[in-house]
Amino acid sequence: MQEWEGLLPAITWPEMGSWEKWMHYALEGGGKRLRPRLVWEVYALYAKGDPDLVEALPAMRAIELVHTFTLVHDDVMDRSELRRGRPTIHTLTDENTAILIGDALIIAAYEVLSDLRPEVQAKVLRHLSRQALRVCHGQLLDLALAQRPTATVKLEEYLQMIREKTGALMGAAMAIGGLLAQQEDPLITALQEAGEKLGIFFQVQDDYLDAYSTQTGKPLGGDIVEGKRTFLWLWAYEEVSPAVRALMEDPTKGEERRAILLEYYHKPAFAQKARAFWEAQFQEVERTFLTLPQGEKVWSTLRELYGRQR
């Protein structure tokens, strides 16, 4: 991993003038570079010859650029002030600038794909484009669910939303690794599915940590303030009093309900149920990975990420 990680941000965009620094700021925000790592690990595992970093690097760069674009726009939509302990771009500049920096990042992603080998370029471009559209769909679903009365939102809709919002791009990373290795469609489909399950787990984990971890670089209960229909929110709504339900549905009461719901989330029985749900997602990912040909090799590289605090 160390062999290539320093190469990921080694691109310049002088066309952006003085605003180029914000593209680099976004890319240098830390994280585990999981998506490009998945591209490389899957490609190296299934390559028909010796894996070549030069061949894989454009796709690895592209997936990280697309992921970073989603984070910049997500921070604007959520009015987040911090991302991994650092001020978000829109708080350092303004929302319009941050939106344009996100746009520039996704444009840059498609530029680097021009460096792929011709025999894989079209398939990678098409697959990444389709999965990036699903990310946008997931964000729209997230917005739509937050605008609906909680009583009408089902847990299955939450899981479908996070499959699109987070799972699609994680799946794309694995599928693109398979495409670089010129594998057949059935394996590409299985890789996409395994990556989507991994993305669901990580989103459930993020929703869990939002309520239970002080090591994320964000204040506890940000999802509560935003009124996000997470699994914790949906479960709590079924159990709390009518007065608290009314508070949950009032978009002007975000800060007021934060402390009330956090106290409820931290009740021992509720917290234990939440932990069990998180663990169940992990077990589902493990089962899915181990059904892949040589899937245990990819799975072993991901074990260290379990229980991460970001």
Report residue 88's pLDDT band, with 50, 70 and 90 as the boundaries.
very high
The rounded Cα 70 to chain-centroid distance in angstroms is 8
Predicted pLDDT at 89: 95
Distance CA 71, CA 180 (A): 26
Per-residue tokens: 198: 């991994």
* Residue 93, CB-side half-sphere exposure with 13 Å CA sphere: 22
Helices (H), the chain: 2-5, 20-27, 34-46, 53-78, 89-92, 95-112, 118-147, 155-162, 168-180, 185-212, 222-226, 231-239, 242-249, 254-265, 268-290, 295-302
- Of residues 214 and 288, the one with the higher pLDDT is 288
Does position 147 have pLDDT exceeding 70, yes or no? yes
* Residue 301, CB-side half-sphere exposure with 13 Å CA sphere: 18
Per-residue tokens: 85: 């302990």
Report residue 188's pLDDT band, with 50, 70 and 90 as the boundaries.
very high
Per-residue tokens: 303: 């074990």
Predicted pLDDT at 303: 76
Farthest CA pair distance, the chain: 64
Q: What is the CATH number of domain 19-302?
A: 1.10.600.10
Kind and range of the H or E run holding 86: strand 86-87
**Placement of tokens 């181990």 in the chain:** 290
- Of residues 8 and 73, the one with the higher pLDDT is 73
pLDDT tens digits for range 245-297: 999 999 999 999 999 999 999 999 999 999 999 999 999 999 999 999 999 98
Q: Mean of the per-residue pLDDT values for the chain? A: 92
Contacts for 244-250: CB closer than 8 Å, 24+ residues apart:
245/150, 248/150, 249/149, 249/150
Does position 125 have pLDDT exceeding 80, yes or no? yes
Predicted pLDDT at 199: 96
CB burial class (10 A; 0-12, 13-18, 19+) of residue 291? Answer: exposed
pLDDT tens digits for range 108-117: 999 999 999 9
Q: Shortest CA distance to 62 belongs to which of 180, 152, 153?
A: 180
Q: Shortest CA distance to 33 belongs to which of 90, 78, 84, 81?
A: 84
Question: Do residues 308 and 214 lie in contact, with contact meaning Cβ atoms separated by under 8 Å?
Answer: no
